Amino acid sequence: MRQADSTGPAARPTNPVIEAIMNRASVRRFEDREVPEEVLETIVAAGRQAPFTGQMYSVIVIRDRARREELAGLFGPMAVKAPLFMLICVDFNKLEKFVAAKGRRNQANDLAMLFLGLQDAAYFGQNLVLAADSLGLGSCFLGGAAFHGARLSEMCGLPPRVYPLVGLVLGYPAGRRPGPRPRVPLDLVMFHERYRDLSEADVERALGVMDAGLIREGYYRDLNGKIPLQEGDDRLTYDDYGWGEHVSRKYGQRPMGRFLSSLLADLKKQGIEW
Ligand SMILES: Cc1cc2nc3c(=O)[nH]c(=O)nc-3n(C[C@H](O)[C@H](O)[C@H](O)COP(=O)(O)O)c2cc1C
């Protein structure tokens, strides 16, 4: 188990649950082997046991090869790498039926609903991922879903008040499972009593940890995941392209505004607006 960023004198406790969480890593190569229905049901049931505020989620499971190929047009080739694709959705429709069954109408503002619904769906998804991992499966979230809301709603027959949150590919890992990937040091995540803003040295230390781990693994090289520069010559090779450069290019130069306007328009099409 990884404890390299421990600052305290005492060893942290561990057990099989902690180890499973600490050793999980996204898997991007899969065997050509189906996931049995009872295994699928087990992991979705485990997902469903996550804490919730209103059970505001649904998941669409897609096994059909031709449909997964269509999804690859939206999510990229990862969508067909595993035998199974899941679309995790935020679902107000279902909750509102439960509310209506007792003679009432949902009165909450949709932004507040999203804050809660996104949590329900996310905790569901992560519980499901850990359960899958514990049964020898591997998975990887695919984040493009929200930006293809209209197309995915059409493809999956989503009614109004249901919106795609994230894709997930799932299957049996091919070859050796990747080891756990680095994270920002614990003392920059957990603050006691009050928030402590990061100094320049903290930022450098965090990026140092992240870059070293991912460059050592050849993470972006294997993914061919370098984000092209929009301006100027790209002098970085995969020997020095790390997480810091990646997030900086991802959030610092892509036209996020374009994604945001399509997201708001697609949410509106699904009857979600505030
Ligand atoms: C919301 C979300 C969207 C993601 N989208 C993608 C994606 O589109 N493609 C991909 O290869 N990985 C994607 N990932 C996986 C992350 O890259 C991965 O979780 C992160 O790099 C940490 O690696 P680890 O899961 O192996 O610890 C996504 C993860 C999340 C939570």
* Residues 117-143: tens digit of each pLDDT: 999 999 999 999 999 999 999 999 999
- Cβ of 156 closer than 6 Å to ligand 1, yes or no, is no
SS3 205: helix
Residue 35's pLDDT is 98
* Mean residue pLDDT across the chain: 95
What's the CA-to-centroid distance between 1 and ligand 1, angstroms? 21
DSSP state of 187: G
* 159/91 Cα distance (integer angstroms): 9
Residue 261's pLDDT is 84
Q: Which atom of ligand 1 lies closest to the CA of 26? A: 26
CA atoms in the 13 A half-sphere facing the CB of 221 = 13
Q: Is the dihedral of CA 2, 227, 250, 88 positive or negative?
A: negative
Residue 176's pLDDT is 94
- Cβ of 78 closer than 6 Å to ligand 1, yes or no, is yes
* 5/109 Cα distance (integer angstroms): 41
Q: Convert 58-77 to b/e letters by CB count within 10 Å (16 or more is b).
A: bbbebeeeeebeebeebbee
| Domain 22-178 CATH (choose: 3.40.109.10, 3.30.479.30, 1.20.120.160, 3.40.630.20) | 3.40.109.10
Q: Name the percent of the chain lying above pLDDT 90.
A: 91
What's the CA-to-centroid distance between 103 and ligand 1, angstroms? 41
* 219/190 Cα distance (integer angstroms): 26
The answer to whether 54 touches 121, Cβ cutoff 8 Å, is: no
**Atom 29 of ligand 1: nearest residue by CA position:** 141
Residue 6's pLDDT is 61
Domain boundaries in the chain?
22-178, 186-252
What's the CA-to-centroid distance between 169 and ligand 1, angstroms? 11
pLDDT band at 8 (very low <50, low <70, confident <90, very high): low
Q: Quick one: tokens of 60?
A: 């669409």
- Cβ of 210 closer than 6 Å to ligand 1, yes or no, is no
Q: Which residues pair with 139 in a beta bridge?
A: 170
What's the CA-to-centroid distance between 199 and ligand 1, angstroms? 27
SS3 269: helix
Q: Quick one: tokens of 215?
A: 């460059």
What's the CA-to-centroid distance between 5 and ligand 1, angstroms? 22
Asked if residue 4 has pLDDT above 80, the reply is no
Asked if residue 174 has pLDDT above 70, the reply is yes
Residue 1's pLDDT is 39
The answer to whether 83 touches 33, Cβ cutoff 8 Å, is: yes
The answer to whether 210 touches 244, Cβ cutoff 8 Å, is: yes
- Cβ of 118 closer than 6 Å to ligand 1, yes or no, is no
What's the CA-to-centroid distance between 139 and ligand 1, angstroms? 10
- Cβ of 26 closer than 6 Å to ligand 1, yes or no, is yes
Q: Quick one: tokens of 154?
A: 């059409």
Within 8 A by CB and 6+ apart from 250, the residues are 227
How many Cβ atoms are within 10 Å of 28's Cβ, its own excluded? Answer: 17
Asked if residue 73 has pLDDT above 60, the reply is yes
Asked if residue 2 has pLDDT above 50, the reply is no
Mean of pLDDT values over 96-120: 98
